[in-house]
Amino acid sequence: MPMPEKFVFVCINQRDPSHPRPSCINNGGGDVFNALREEQGRRLLTSTKIVAGGCMEACMVGPVIAVFPDNVWYGGVTEDDVPAIMDHLEGGEPVQYLRIGDAEFDLRPPEMSEGGF
């Protein structure tokens, strides 16, 4: 099997529910990861590697997904979004309504100070 052309990192990080910052697994990250893998299999998309990963720091808008080398970041992903993401991975355009950027990475819960956690 040749090297993957793209990598998709899906955050499945889990924190204690008492933590002020949400965690992607509690917001459906695991379901999204499984749905992506299932859809990848249906489409026989072998050029992409889908990887379960840890926190990528945009926790306030999770579940978070990062696509490389495209450097495209998605937030608030649900299982319903998986077909559109797979279209992107098959060579289509990024899914604009899911894209996140610097603003989402700066979000913090009110009870947290800058630079915490």
Contact footprint for ligand FES (CB under 6 A): 11, 13, 23-24, 55-59, 62, 64
User: Nearest 5 degrees, angle CA 39-CA 45-CA 50?
Assistant: 70
Closest CA to 77 of 98, 60, 57: 98
CB of 34 to ligand FES, least distance (A): 16
Looking at the Cβ atoms of 36 and 58, the one nearer to ligand FES is 58
Closest by Cα among 20, 21, 25 to 10: 25
- Nearest-approach distance from CB 13 to ligand FES, in angstroms: 4
Taking the complex as a whole, how short is the minimal distance between the CB of residue 106 and ligand FES, in angstroms? 13
